[in-house]
Structure 1
């Protein structure tokens, strides 16, 4: 029965993703020639969920996912029995919020865990599409290059960490939905698309309030700079205050210490405590004194360094991050007028976001945790890396000039000059 139900739900998720791809390609001309690639990527993400559940989880048992599943099933049983008060006791912020939402999902659908893997992966895929759409909106791109769309769609760490029973997929979706607040306003947008950024902010605020606060500040900066709308500034500022309130509820002890002793002192003390435990901390972080922001930015963009690799998982994580960094640096080296691009509001806001998240990452203590949570920074990093690749494409220089010439050649017959009379 579970196999039949899981197969039906899996096919439904695949169908919804394909509909999303077709709708995106119709609305965004930059995606049109990549329609088949986008369809293949959607199917590939859903198949990765099956591969993770059927094969990888038996080789590397997912401890966190097992606990999430057990608690969520307990919440679902309480909800089905009508014990809403008992189910509400499981609600909280961070991981408890994810388990409670997952329990509500199970109570409504009765789906097996494979469907959770697939839905989380589908949400992450949807988020990456929204991220690429934001890139097109801010650059005016009409034709995405392969070096922008392919790495984004097939990022190995995103495929592995979102197609599972963890909150990474929902967090990535929430961040990318919030980017829609920076789009130019359009009267053609319906009510549901306008609600998506708000839904993304709520999801991110419940799951990771501190990350929601950072992204809200960056998006507030960009949206206010572009639109100069006071109402949008007030809305996003209210979201930032709400994230602070949620952060206080999620980690009251840490919040009180941070407000009393300072954020840097609190995180530094926590870092020293955790790095003394070799069972929790990776050897890369033992006996290290982090430099706020700088250590975190280097950790996000470049680490693990080649000399820090000690196992195959670290090697694969290193190859991914070095590959992305090489693509980004090469694009920035080749693009002309670098200063004019660096002055763009989108670039400045993403740099601010990277710096704020770099401060948070400076006090990371485990390399596996870094690779997993680096997805929270991926939208900012990929927007920064991809920006110059949109503008520097020498093979399109001739085609850029063609529209002006073609506009003269495509005059209506009535506007053509009459032949001279003999």
Structure 2
């Protein structure tokens, strides 16, 4: 049998749902024939082919694109199968590549978890977490890293709105997964640090998991990782601190662990660098949550956070980053600069100095921010006997409700 013969047969049987070829007479069949089958037989549910020399990426991607109902695939005694492309076949439920010599099973095993296909909820909930956590304890660091990557998406339902599956997230927690992830986050290997921090950040959207992370010492670990010179590590660590900072109990703990200083330093470092938008958004988002706490807002100001945020507003034009900057400066200005009152003369030296620093920083770049922080300064300036920056407020400021955010999940 040749490619041409098989292509003609496929073209004449568009409604075909099951096709098995081999093991005999397949020596002259190539990936071109498999691609033709995919295009001609979109209803295919089961495909078994034996003895083909190579199944390349084009053929497998064609199956993924055209055969949406394909759940059973067998490439038996095929010398080479493109393992990367196989992960694109989201519909597969049964796969056999017996006799194939090029598959790296430790890595290939994760494709189902990373694609997170629907229809197997009970399996993922009852066995998925346990299986992934067993891979995380592998002696091979590459396997550990892929397992952490899979865990980062394992519980994700909607990454746009930061929604995760409560059952899956808590299954990871029950199986001691938080401690395993935190151990990986302390590895010397930066890839492991990044993927473990990402998984911790995503799972921490769940309040129970976030509490477990804090109780296991995760806040200090993430604060340390946020100081990393590696952008990806720092970005994922900042994302973890962002999610943990949603809980009031964790805000002070983050400040005490040096997390506020680490986040401010990230802004200073990446505000003028290319490719740092993700770091900046996460760092500013975490600071926005932290600044809603009086003690933490003072900490933000005391470590140079005001100047860092104003510099970020001037240098970064990404809208979502600008929003987080405003959300951070509003509570800081409200905490550090009291409203006008006859008791202004009793304002503490620290508040006066912090208010002056805030005013001076904004004076250097008043148009870099929205009206919210500026309006707070106009209200506060008489109490501190300061001159507000000159800028035009075109219409009265309407207060925007602050909300606690979570970072976009990978």
TM-score band, normalised by the shorter chain?
under 0.3
TM-score (norm 1): 0.26
Relative CO higher for 1 or 2, CA cutoff 8 Å, sep ≥ 6?
1
TM-score (norm 2): 0.27
Structure with a larger share of its residues in helix = 1
Structure with a larger share of its residues in strand = 2
